[in-house]
Amino acid sequence: MRRYYLDHASTSPLRPRAAAAIREWLESPAGDPGRVHEEGRVVRDAIETARAQVAELLGVPPRRVVLTSGATESVHAAVWGALWDHPGGAILCAGVEHSSVRDSSARLAPVVEVPVDSNGRIDPDGVDAALRRAGRAASLVHCQSANHEVGTTQPVAEVVERCRRAGVPVHVDAAAAFGHVALDLDRDEGPDFLSVSAHKLGGPPGVGALVLRRGLRVEPLFVGGQQERGRRAGMENVHGIIGFGAAADALAGDALAREAAAARARTDALTTTVLAETGTVQVGDPTDRLPHIVCFGVEGVEAEPVVLGLDREGVAVHSGSACASESFEPSPVLAAMGADPSHSLRLSVGWSTTDDDLDAFAAAFGRVVAELRALRG
């Protein structure tokens, strides 16, 4: 059976340019990029080329990009670095943040909840109130760039401005947004830390980056070597980094804007398909959202059988229901918004999405939901 993939927000297929770059490098001689011999210099040059490609897409100088094993490591490094410089304080975090953000914070510090509205958007006034509750003890504020489950964009610039006035560093999880919308970070008022991952935009899994504010020096999470200018110890994942750079380079120029426009048109079409069915509602902001993610509530049926029913039809989608993922708990994102995770359905498109994917979903969705509702009597 032919498969149709509408779960790019979980992970996106490897772009051909990234796959070709990795294959070519796999046939190259080995070398430690920390060595001065020719083999080492060749590897170092390849890493720095990839770093520059990633930095170009981020809109920052390459020296601000610390290459990591992915956004989860970058998040942990940001939390660790902030608490090292501001020990003993609380961390401000909304319930809609990714589990890596919430869990890494809760392991190391008291967490003060930042409220969100019914679309999952952080209230900057709520950040001010949380800062007042934390008093002088605040060590870090998290503000995701956009939500990974419903796509709602966040008021990052306003939150950063308020935190800067309060003297509290800010971490932005941009894993969901990077490679799907422009992130122009080359500003003094930008966040102190920003984390991204390669596999969300068509790069290889197992590689990402932590972007540091201009001039910021932090204590590394990993020690034991001077890689990444002393900011992250450990032998570099050369193949992954090269693939990351190639995937970022595929979005250079106007390619990012073109892909974003195509993604918006496709998620708009998916929205029309879903909302044509009785008892469906869009979850998250319908307008101020990432172009490639839409989320819906479906009344009368649980999410897990909808996901499984679509899977039998060859269509891959995702749900915030605990039963539909590896988690034992329903989505805290949807719970924080006041939505029902057990009836949620997330659809996400990407660089490889075609009209056939949308047509397959449109042909299957109404029938699957109708059959499940009939079973409930």
Active site members: 323
Alpha-carbon distance of 377 to 374, in angstroms, equals: 5
Cα–Cα distance, 183 to 153 (Å, whole number): 12
Distance CA 103, CA 76 (A): 9
Angle between helices 38-58 and 238-249 (to 10 degrees): 40
Cβ neighbourhood burial of 2 (10 Å; 0-12, 13-18, 19+): exposed
Q: How far apart are CA 130 and CA 50, in angstroms?
A: 39
Q: How many Å apart are CA 41 and CA 208, to the nearest integer?
A: 22
The helix/strand/coil state of 314 is coil
Residues 57, 373: Cα–Cα separation, whole Å: 45
C-alpha distance from residue 363 to each of 42, 278, 369 (Å) = 51, 16, 11
Q: For strand 293-298 and strand 344-348, is the pairing parallel, antiparallel, or unpaired?
A: antiparallel
